[in-house]
């Protein structure tokens, strides 16, 4: 026998018990987001590579080393989507959504792909639930978006949550700050980790993320972008904070908050959970006022977030979901009763019951045992002696006409 084929590293199967919990997450997302007028959108699992190179940023880890990129055989470079914001901006432009009432509010849930080193809470295919609002730079969009993620995480029982908040300001503020930070890093280069030093030109902000103690000591005194914001950006950030205060949402302003994607302007935020290990980010996002234009659309502000479904489940702890109940199990003794049994099970489902049929050729004893395992409320038994209905709670059994089975089961639910 040859060795069994293995699933690729960093991937996992969603088994039924897991799928039940995910259904719950999807339902909660729909409820929370649709109540605020967000509508579901889905984009393809792969896109042209250019979308992410232009949208996410050439200098980011995501684009530099984490993308699954392939040639489609016709000379086009395609990439499995590593994130959902750039694709949604592409769709916004491509479908002329600027003609709709603004902001256009969209939510999504799907799988994303990053070639990262797998560890607890970090996978190569993972699921995100996300929300994007395009077409308004009103600070209320930012605050509402953040509050919606807070509500969703609370609804799902995510524990140990902390919200970090910052503002990156406008593009030119960031460019000037970048130069200032680079000069600071060069001045202290001897105390920085080699990998941080190597990235001073490409991505100096990542120095704030370093786990190296020497680098951390240098970064404790580094200039912060938050202290360099222009008047308008400062006012925008103050308005966002005031709305969050009014909403009673606790947050920490953290000028060292770094996001891994380049498109952010103004508000950025991240929810972390103390329940998670090194990969503590449950969900995060921010404003991306230049992204649509960068992708060839008219200047359009945008704000949104994404949260990792697996990290939500890890941080919410084990909350096993019960199997749906089985109202009726249709057993039969003798193959000549299969057709009648099949018909009763089908009609019962049409009538709105959860009904299953014996499908594995078990004897009557085996069928009753299986019905017990499924926690079936009733078992109909079809055989040469007629039809019986067994109440699995009381153990009582009575004879009845086959056509009376469904009504009898339905009556009990009343």
Residues 87-106 that bind ligand HAM (CB under 6 A): none
Exactly one of 103, 281, 297, 301 binds ligand HAM (CB under 6 A); which one? 281
Confirm or reject binding of residue 199 to ligand HAM (CB under 6 A). no
Exactly one of 26, 116, 180, 293 binds ligand HAM (CB under 6 A); which one? 116
Judged by beta carbon, residue 225 or residue 371, the one nearer ligand HAM is 225
Confirm or reject binding of residue 290 to ligand HAM (CB under 6 A). no
Judged by beta carbon, residue 185 or residue 285, the one nearer ligand HAM is 285
Confirm or reject binding of residue 282 to ligand HAM (CB under 6 A). yes
Q: Work out whether strand 104-113 and strand 125-134 pair parallel, antiparallel, or are unpaired.
A: antiparallel
Nearest distance, CB of residue 108 and ligand HAM, angstroms: 10
Binding string, 3-22, against ligand HAM, x = CB under 6 A?
--------------------
Nearest distance, CB of residue 200 and ligand HAM, angstroms: 23
3-state secondary structure the chain: CCCCCCCCCCCCCCCHHHHHHHHHHHHHHHHHHHCCCCEECCCCCEEEHHHHHHHCCCCCHHHHHCCCEEECCCCCEEEECCCCHHHHHHHHHHCCHHHCCCCEEEEEEEEEECCCCCECCECCEEEEEEEEEECCCCHHHHHHHHHHHHHHHHHCCCCCEEEEEEECCCHHHHHHHHHHHHHHHHHCHHHCCHHHHHCCCCCHHHHHHCCCHHHHHHHHCCCCHHHHCCHHHHHHHHHHHHHHHHCCCCCEECCCCCCCCCCCEEEEEEEEECCCCCCCEEEEEEECCCHHHHCCCCCCCEEEEEEEHHHHHHHHCCCCCCCCCEEEEEEECCHHHHHHHHHHHHHHHHCCCCEEECCCCCCHHHHHHHHHHCCEEEEEEEECCEEEEEECCCCCEEEECHHHHHHHHHHHHC
Binding string, 235-264, against ligand HAM, x = CB under 6 A?
-------------------------xx---
Exactly one of 43, 79, 128, 273 binds ligand HAM (CB under 6 A); which one? 128
Exactly one of 55, 103, 169, 304 binds ligand HAM (CB under 6 A); which one? 304
Nearest distance, CB of residue 391 and ligand HAM, angstroms: 47
Judged by beta carbon, residue 128 or residue 166, the one nearer ligand HAM is 128
Exactly one of 89, 150, 200, 306 binds ligand HAM (CB under 6 A); which one? 306
Task: Kindly indicate which of the ranges 69-77, 79-87, 190-198, 351-359 contains the residues binding ligand HAM, using the contact rule CB under 6 A.
Answer: 79-87
Confirm or reject binding of residue 305 to ligand HAM (CB under 6 A). yes
Exactly one of 132, 138, 254, 289 binds ligand HAM (CB under 6 A); which one? 132
Binding site for ligand HAM (CB under 6 A): 83-85, 114, 116, 121-123, 126, 128, 130, 132, 260-261, 281-286, 288, 304-308, 310-311
């Amino acid at each position: 026998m040859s060795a069994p084929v293995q699933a690729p590293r960093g991937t996992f199967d969603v088994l039924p018990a897991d799928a039940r919990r995910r259904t719950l997450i999807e339902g909660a997302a729909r409820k929370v987001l649709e109540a605020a007028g967000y509508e579901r959108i889905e984009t393809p699992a792969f896109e042209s590579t250019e979308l992410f190179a232009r949208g996410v940023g050439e200098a980011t880890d995501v684009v530099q080393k984490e993308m699954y990129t392939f040639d489609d055989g016709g000379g086009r470079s395609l990439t499995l989507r590593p994130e959902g914001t750039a694709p949604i901006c592409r769709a916004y432009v491509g479908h002329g959504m600027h003609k709709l009432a603004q902001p256009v509010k969209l939510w999504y849930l799907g799988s994303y792909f990053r070639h990262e080193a797998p560890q607890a809470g970090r996978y190569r295919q993972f699921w995100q639930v996300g929300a994007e609002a395009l077409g308004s730079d009103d600070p209320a969009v930012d605050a509402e978006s953040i509050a919606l993620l807070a509500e969703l995480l609370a609804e799902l029982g995510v524990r140990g949550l902390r919200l970090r908040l910052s503002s990156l300001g406008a593009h030119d503020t960031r460019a000037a700050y970048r130069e200032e930070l680079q000069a600071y890093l060069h001045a202290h280069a001897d105390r920085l980790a080699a990998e941080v030093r190597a990235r001073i030109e490409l991505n100096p902000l990542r120095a704030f993320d370093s786990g190296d103690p020497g680098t951390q000591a240098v970064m404790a005194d580094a200039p912060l972008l938050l202290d360099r914001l222009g008047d308008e950006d400062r006012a925008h950030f103050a308005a966002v904070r005031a709305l969050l205060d009014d909403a009673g949402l606790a947050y920490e302003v953290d000028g060292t908050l770094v996001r891994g994607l380049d498109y952010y302007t103004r508000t950025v935020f991240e929810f972390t959970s103390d329940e998670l290990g090194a990969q503590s980010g449950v969900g995060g996002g921010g404003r991306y006022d230049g992204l649509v234009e960068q992708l060839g659309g008219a200047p359009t502000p945008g704000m949104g977030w994404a949260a990792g479904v697996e990290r939500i489940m890890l941080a919410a702890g084990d909350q096993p979901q019960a199997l749906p109940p089985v109202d009726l199990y249709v057993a039969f003794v003798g193959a000549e009763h299969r057709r009648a049994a099949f018909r009763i099970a089908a009609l019962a489902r049409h009538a709105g019951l959860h009904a299953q049929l014996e499908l594995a050729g078990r004897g009557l004893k085996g069928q009753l045992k299986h019905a017990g395992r499924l926690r079936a409320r009733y078992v109909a038994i079809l055989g040469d002696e007629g039809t019986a209905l067994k109440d699995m709670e009381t153990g009582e059994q009575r004879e009845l006409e086959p056509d009376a089975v469904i009504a009898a089961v339905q009556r009990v639910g009343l």
